[in-house]
């Protein structure tokens, strides 16, 4: 099983620092995933809304009150730069 998100810390703007269950820590800029994407992502363009990010411990990923979440495998890849192998 791939590592899951253990904790998240807001850094600035659309940047979050994530810690994974394998001990890896990485920083991800979500700007390209959120800004000007429309739909539910439009809600996260507001910095106060974006800061409401939490870890869903059951799913091991990031979630926001508006229902947005991201695949934890992709987050781990983005944080580490290591390709996902299946």
* Secondary element (H or E) of residue 33: helix 31-34
CA separation for the pair 39, 23 (Å, rounded): 33
Query: What is the tens place of the pLDDT at every residue in 39-53?
Result: 999 999 999 999 999
Query: Whose CA is closest to 76, among 85, 67, 68?
Result: 85
Predicted local confidence at residue 41, as pLDDT:
94
Predicted local confidence at residue 45, as pLDDT:
96
Q: Averaged in consecutive runs of 10 residues, what is the pLDDT profile of the chain (86 residues)?
A: 94 97 96 95 95 96 96 94 78
SS3 state of residue 80: helix
Predicted local confidence at residue 1, as pLDDT:
79
Burial class (CB in 10 A: 0-12, 13-18, 19+), 6: middle
Q: Give the alpha-carbon dihedral of 53, 56, 60, 62, to 10 degrees.
A: -20
């Amino acid at each position: 099983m791939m590592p899951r998100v253990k904790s998240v810390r807001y850094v600035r703007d659309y940047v979050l620092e994530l810690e994974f269950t394998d001990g890896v820590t990485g920083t991800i800029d979500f700007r390209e995933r959120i800004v000007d994407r429309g739909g539910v992502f439009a809600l996260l363009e507001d910095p106060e809304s974006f800061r409401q990010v939490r870890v869903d411990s059951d799913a091991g990923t990031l979630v926001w009150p508006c229902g947005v979440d991201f695949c934890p495998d992709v987050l781990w890849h983005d944080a580490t730069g290591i390709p996902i192998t299946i």
